[in-house]
Amino acid sequence: MLVERWNDAAGGFHPASAADYLPKGKLQEVQLRRLRAVVERAYANVALVRERMQADGVRPDDITQLSDIGRLPFTVKTDLRDTYPFGLFASPMSEIVRLHASSGTTGKPIVVAYTREDLGVWAEVMTRTFACCGLHRGDILQNAFGYGLFTGGLGAHYGAEALGATVIPVSGGNTERQLMVMQDFNVTAVCATPSYFIHVIERATEMGIDLRTLPLHTGIFGAEPWSDVMRQRIEEGAGIKAYDIYGLSEIIGPGVASECEAQHGLHVFEDHFYPEIIDPESGEPLPDGAEGELVLTTLSKQAMPVIRYRTRDITRIIAEPCRCGRSIRRIQRIGRRSDDMFIIRGVNVFPSQVEAALLAVEGTLPHYQIILTRQGGLDQMTVEVEVTPEVFSDKVRALEDVRTKIAKAIEHILGIRVTLRLVEPRTIARSEGKARRVIDQREI
Ligand code: DLL
């Protein structure tokens, strides 16, 4: 009975989503209970956490209210590298049933672990994610997140199965096969990185397939920043609603936060992942609404509890109630991560700023690359962007027009001049997963 009710109602209620609607007091009770347990677990089993807490003179018993979380030491990415591969595990290997790894930018990957219970929580938060995006039993989900060490594929897979949707584990890549599956299997929803799905839309157009005529109605995208213009292009190109989902391997994978039908901020599944915003310089906590670095604490992880992880993702907490009725708080979509920032001639630049400037100009395609070089001791930034065939072929007028507009837009946003290279469609390499936007050749 219950199953039918949530199945039939549009935007229906899934039983797994109950925690999304907990009254604040009840939620905080759950959070505090779990916080105390996870701190105790980490203190007892993870040397790094215990040593840091001892150095700070904090004991697990000192955590008596949620705000005491501020007394706990941060965990940073290099902690995972320094303890590679298993140093932060809190469970014996005999209880760990899955490992994933994230490549990161340099050297060794970071390794993350899950007990059977952790996998249950992961499936639960991914079920809540899909329910948030309006999926039901009966939906046919093409899962084009990569399967493998990347958490996207398997994370989405078990969540969608738990929801009761039909999962097609196609993984990333082989775009023509993706399109065959999409048409022949009556696919209604798709998961992918936004940059890869843009490529799928383009390939469909080249093959004379109009995605807007298919049963496909929902896209669930994440694992990399994507702008509102990008969303608009995806929604129009495929005739779907496109939702943003967020997560990271260190915390669990996808399933940390998800947009809902309002498409205005991502609900954090904060009964499992406690969010804080801090000033990235001082490490001091910032109030709701202020922009800063997102810090996450896993409240229920067994195999690898992570206390106050500095994500380096920049966002803010939206405390106002959401019109979907969920009581769990939202974070603003993540457009910037402090890692991605580069400095060019003394100016701090985020790739998302360049993207905003490029895509604001009509005639550009959402494929671009930023190439940094050093010539005669001076940093140079070259932006390579694809333009539509119409613009590209009209070398005299349209191309120059687009070039001037982009140059102006970039100068307006960044205050610097850059070298622009407008190239024809399909010049810039496509990725099946996360797009690589910046190529820094300055060290070579
Ligand atoms: O990307 C997990 C994931 C898979 C999330 C599928 C969503 C969908 P990592 O490879 O460890 O894990 O990368 C995590 O990617 O710290 C963010 O900087 C970035 N990121 C993830 N989702 C978003 C998003 C997965 N929706 C890192 N918007 C994070 C912006 C995102 N950035």
pLDDT tens per residue across span 392-405 = 998 778 999 999 99
Question: Ligand 1 centroid vs 53 CA: distance in angstroms?
Answer: 29
Is residue 222 lining ligand 1, measured as CB closer than 6 Å? yes
* pLDDT tens-digit map of 336-356: 999 899 999 899 999 999 999
Percent of the chain with pLDDT over 70: 96
* pLDDT tens-digit map of 276-318: 999 999 999 999 999 999 999 999 999 999 999 999 999 999 9
In this structure, which residue's CA is closest to atom 6 in ligand 1? 152
Nearest-10 Cα torsion for 29, 30, 36, 37: 150
Q: Delineate the domains of the chain, giving CATH numbers in brackets.
A: 2-25+112-337 (3.40.50.12780), 342-440 (3.30.300.30)
- pLDDT confidence bin for 105, thresholds 50/70/90: low
Task: Tell me how far apart the alpha carbons of residues 377 and 233 are, in angstroms, rounded to a whole number.
Answer: 39
- pLDDT confidence bin for 107, thresholds 50/70/90: confident
Determine the pLDDT at residue 157.
98
Determine the pLDDT at residue 106.
64
Q: Are strands 96-102 and 438-440 parallel, antiparallel or unpaired?
A: unpaired
Determine the pLDDT at residue 358.
94
Is residue 246 lining ligand 1, measured as CB closer than 6 Å? yes
Strands (E), 316-430: 317-318, 330-331, 336-337, 342-344, 347-349, 364-375, 378-387, 419-423
Percent of the chain with pLDDT over 90: 91
Determine the pLDDT at residue 428.
95
* Mutate which of 110, 114, 196, 224 for ligand 1 pocket (most atoms within 8 A of beta carbon): 224
CB under 8 Å to 113, separation ≥6 — which residues?
A: 86, 89, 91, 96, 98, 99, 303, 304
Secondary structure of residue 387 in the 3-state scheme: strand
DSSP percent split of the chain into helix, strand, coil, nearest 5: 35, 25, 40
Determine the pLDDT at residue 444.
62
In this structure, which residue's CA is closest to atom 12 in ligand 1? 248
**Cα–Cα distances in angstroms (integers) from residue 355 to residues 110, 350, 359, 383, 406, in the given order:** 29, 9, 6, 10, 10
Assess whether pLDDT exceeds 70 at residue 6: no
Mean per-residue pLDDT, 231-239: 97
Task: Tell me how far apart the alpha carbons of residues 31 and 42 are, in angstroms, rounded to a whole number.
Answer: 16
Closest ligand 1 atom to 249 CA = 11
Assess whether pLDDT exceeds 60 at residue 3: no
Determine the pLDDT at residue 13.
73
Determine the pLDDT at residue 104.
65
Q: What's the longest Cα–Cα distance across the chain?
A: 73
* Nearest of 103, 120, 31 to residue 434 by alpha carbon: 103
How many Cβ atoms from other residues are within 10 Å of residue 279's Cβ?
13
Mean per-residue pLDDT, 408-418: 93
Determine the pLDDT at residue 443.
75
Is residue 225 lining ligand 1, measured as CB closer than 6 Å? yes
In this structure, which residue's CA is closest to atom 14 in ligand 1? 248
Determine the pLDDT at residue 289.
97
Determine the pLDDT at residue 28.
98
